[in-house]
Amino acid sequence: MFLRIFLYKFRQISRNRVLVGWNFLFPLVLSTAFYLGFGNLIKDDPDTFKTIEAGYVNVDQSNTTFKEVLEGLAEETDAHGKIISLHNYSSKEDATKAMNNGDIAGFYVEEGYDVDTVVPANGYESTTLNQIVREYDNGKTTIENIAKDHPENMQNAINMMYENFGILKQHDFGKNTSQYLQYFFALIAMASLFSSWISTNILQGMCANLSEEGKRFECSPTSKMMAITAGILAGLVMQALANAIVIIYIQKVLTINMGAPLWNLILLSTIGSGLGISSGVLIGSIFKNKQLLFAIPLCFSMTCSFFSGLMWGQIKQIIQYHCPIMNKINPAALLTDSMYVRATYGATSAYYEDITIMLCMIAGCLIISTFLLRRRKYVSI
Amino acid sequence: MSVYKAILKSLRANMINILVYFSIFAIFGNISARATASTTEDMFREVVLKVAVTDYDNSLISQGLVEYLDKTQNVVDPQTEDPIEMNDNVRFGIYQYALVIPEGLSDKLQAGETEDLVDYIAPGSSMSEYLLTEKTNAYLKDVVIYIQNGYTEKEAVELTNKQMLDLDDTKAIVKDTSEENHRSFYTGMFTFNGYSLSMALCICISTAFIFMKEKDVRNRISVSGMSFKKRNVASILAVLSIGIMLTAAVIVVICIMAQESVNGKFIYYILDTLALMVIGIGIAYFISSLTENENLINMLSNMIILSMCFLCGVFVDLQFLSEGIIKVAHFLPLYWYVTAIKFINDTPINEIMCRTFGTYLMIQILFAIAFFVAGMIISKKKEQYAV
């Protein structure tokens, strides 16, 4: 009997065009849209440092220390990559023309002891070009101060000034997961929570006060517990399959490397589907109105997805910064976080913590639903 | 008049949808427009970064460094001591750089050690990473040079702080040649409008169309004394009224939000939005010809409009899209809506009303006609085969 109900429910769900559309087709379309929008940015991060095209005009036409500094920055060394690409111009007019054409991001004009930086607009490139002049001026001031206060140490100071100091060291976390992957993780979380519709749909067919089918079911001599379990499992299998297809589509067809092993992502999304299904069962056992059984799962899944970063990638981290507890009670944020942590840092304690909370949530929803659904009596149907 | 009124009344069922899309527009459109708006500049302003500093050393040197960063950058509390959480905060832009000053830094610097002493967390190799690393390294290098050449720790920190802050006077000269704003607030709002108005139009007008197809409604209208011509004129006017009402509402929202950044190009943005309205009605007619199920209409509208928004530069600026995608986007109406907005933004006001702008509007109207024709063909075939 269990297998029969399971198969019937599976067929019933797979024939529901709205469910198939929202739970399976919509994530596929949205992931394609995300790929079209962010695919480029995931593969080639726009924030990555790129060599700045800089112009140089020496009014006096002589070799200067500043020019040596610029030439040093234009070479790739052990201490740094190629910071600037230097273009020499004979006059300010030529350099301005090149800047207005977009050939260079700005230019330096050296006249006597003065160096001016000319840029077309404010921004990172302009600040970086200006920073080079600031560091040059700063070096001169340091040497001047030492020459004034401790002239005996002048040579030592000059030698030190030419040395490369690597006082700072970047913390290495191993992997560098793109922030735009967050949207794909949140999308999988949304698809998983959409499964709450499946369970409200299943419950509609099993509650006498909600449908004709429910009346027949409730007066049949079948074990309710077994039938509901079979229905829930059918929904879980359906959603897990749909999620697996979406994940495989993202990884293999769209060729976006999500950072974690495929089986691991599928496993996590299956737990997410369980979360969606169990929350749907809880919603279905609390609310008796047909319209609410559609509206509440929709509001629930969209609100959770929004706060997990589906529409605004930063939101989950903003919540983490200001009110971390919210991320621990939001099922979509938990699923998104577990995928992100697995992809970036591996199977750490935070990853297992997320999984444990999700499993506890599933158990909690199902236990409460069991109490709400058992021994129902209807005054009037 | 009764047909006209009935269609308008059918709009009541979509009030929640309309409110949702208007709220999305008012909140997210506003946020994104304000974030991307930039004006013509004539003065150099250094990029100021959000830096989270954790000072475990608490020495004169580390305090001096924190003071210098506080005066030149935006120093914030990291809220955590866990490097992983700091990395997440940096990666998702809560702050752009995290500096962890270890205990014993001062002693090591005074002893002449200069390699890998201070940890920092930054999003890969970026401009912000380069800038902050350079500034911090330059500061500490100065302190070390002073200490190693006869100055006390206190003198070294004081001198370094003073000369570093004096460097603020070294400013670049900005020669901004753009006529007006780089990207106005209007451009941001109207670009986002490509999503919200299209969605609201698609859902409201599609449901109005399927309301007209309902068996009961159709039968009641058929038995009334109203002529076929009158009925159709009333239906067309009602649909147009819904379109104009929604478009007007969007324009009013933008007017209210853009009070500080008013410019004379507003009328051209309105023209482009009216073209978008025609596209929205076209797509709505096309969708309503495919299905009469409200859930499916909602789903199809989401799929079509969301995909177009990602492809055509509504959510992600066109400069970040690959060439192949931009080529494909040429075959979609929202691309021309966004291109027209860009054109209005970049062109001096007296040169906007030209052939190029007219072409953009015309292409949008042609797309709308194409959607209408496709919808009519589908409806006809469905009727023919009784689908």
Name the residue among A128, A171, A318 with its Cβ closest to that of B119.
A171
Q: How far is B202 from chain A (nearest CA, A)?
A: 17
* Distance to chain B for A297, nearest Cα, Å: 14
Q: What is the pLDDT of residue A362?
A: 95
| Residue in B with minimal Cα distance to A323 | B79
Is residue B339 pLDDT above 80, yes or no? Answer: yes
The Cα B68–Cα A310 span in angstroms is: 38
Helix axes B333-346, B355-385, angle to 10 degrees: 160
Would the CB atoms of A26 and B302 count as touching at under 8 Å? yes
**Residues on chain B touching A141 (C-beta within 8 angstroms):** 163, 166
Determine whether the interchain pair B130/A149 forms a contact, defined as Cβ–Cβ distance below 8 Å: no
| CB contact (8 A) between residue A106 and residue B45 | no
CB contact under 8 A, A18 and B41: no
Closest chain B residue to the Cα of A313, Cα to Cα: B92
The shortest C-alpha distance from A175 to chain B (Å) reads 10
Maximum CA extent, chain A: 103
Backbone angles phi, psi at A25, to 5 degrees: -70, -40
Does B131 sit within 8 Å of A131, measured CB to CB? yes
Please judge whether B126 and A40 are an interchain contact, meaning their C-beta atoms are less than 8 angstroms apart. no
Q: Who contacts B330 (Cβ-Cβ below 8 Å, separation ≥6)?
A: none
Give A165-213 as a DSSP string. P--EEEPP-S----TTHHHHHHHHHHHHHTHHHHHHHHHHTT-TTT-HH
> Is the pLDDT assigned to residue B265 strictly greater than 70?
yes
Q: Give A163's contacts in chain B (Cβ within 8 Å).
A: 114
A123 shares contact with chain B (CB less than 8 Å): yes
What letters, b where the CB count within 10 A reaches 16 and e where it falls short, cover A287-299?
beeeeebbebbee
Query: Which A positions 189-218 lie with beta carbon below 8 A of chain B?
Result: none
Taking CA–CA distances from B160, the nearest residue in chain A reads A142
* Cα distance between residue A148 and residue A142, in whole Å: 10
| Mutant choice from B127, B143, B302 vs A, greatest count of A C-beta within 10 A | B127
State CA B331 to chain mean position distance.
22
Residue B174 sits at φ, ψ, to 5 deg, of: -95, 120
Tokens 């234009």 sit at which residue?
A74
Which one of A36, A106, A142 has the shortest CB-CB distance to B325?
Answer: A36
Q: Indicate the SS3 state at residue A368.
A: helix
Q: DSSP readout, B232-278?
A: HHHHHHHHHHHHHHHHHHHHHHHHHHTGGG--TTHHHHHHHHHHHHH
- As a whole number, mean pLDDT of residues B142-151 equals 92
Interface of A with B in 307-336 (CB under 8 A): 311-314, 316-318, 320-321
B124: left (phi over 0), alpha (psi -120 to 50) or beta: left
Q: pLDDT, tens digit, for every residue of B48-64?
A: 999 999 999 999 999 99
Chain A residues closer than 8 Å to B91 by CB: 177, 179, 317
A34 inside 8 A of chain B by CB: yes
Smallest CA–CA separation between B163 and chain A, in Å? Answer: 7
Supply the pLDDT for residue B40: 67
Sheet holding B173-174, edge to edge: A84-89, A52-58, A106-111, A114-119, B173-174
Q: Which positions of chain A have pLDDT values less than 50?
A: none
pLDDT tens-digit readout, B236-260: 899 999 999 999 999 998 888 887 7
At B271-311, the pLDDT tens digits run 999 999 999 999 999 999 988 888 888 888 988 998 899 88
**Cα(A96)–Cα(A103) distance, integer angstroms:** 10
Whether residue B320 and residue A47 make contact (CB cut-off 8 A), yes or no, is no
Q: Which residues of B touch A26 (CB under 8 A)?
A: 299, 302-303
A153/B47 Cβ within 8 A: no
C-alpha to C-alpha distance for B268 and B250, rounded to whole angstroms: 15
Q: Which helix (H) or strand (E) element contains residue B169?
A: none
Interatomic CA distance for residues A308 and A327, integer angstroms: 8
Interface test with B, best of A24, A42, A165, A168 (most B CBs within 10 A): A168
Please check whether residue A16 touches B, CB under 8 A: no
Q: How far is CA A291 from CA A135, A197, A288, A319, A379, in A?
A: 66, 12, 9, 31, 21
User: By the 8 A CB rule, do A378 and A208 touch?
Assistant: yes
The reply to whether A48 touches chain B by the CB within 8 Å rule is yes
Residue of B139, B147, B149, B174 to mutate, testing the A interface (most A Cβ within 10 Å of its Cβ): B149
pLDDT tens for each residue of B166-203: 888 888 888 876 655 577 888 889 999 899 999 999 99
pLDDT for the residue numbered B318: 85
Q: Count of CB contacts below 8 A, A vs B?
A: 243
The gap between the terminal CA atoms of chain A, to the nearest Å, is 27
SS (H, E, C) A271-330: HHHHHHHHHHHHHHHHCCCCCHHHHHHHHHHHHHHHHHCCCCCCHHHHHHHHCHHHHHHC
Q: Which chain B residue shows the shortest CA-CA distance from A165?
A: B114
Q: How far is B259 from chain A (nearest CA, A)?
A: 25
CB contact under 8 A, B306 and A40: no
**pLDDT tens string A311-361:** 888 889 999 999 999 999 999 999 999 999 999 999 999 999 999 999 999
pLDDT of B362 higher than 60: yes
- Facing residue for B119 by CB, picked from A39, A106, A169: A169
3-state secondary structure of A79: coil
Say yes or no for a CB contact (<8 Å) between B174 and A179: no
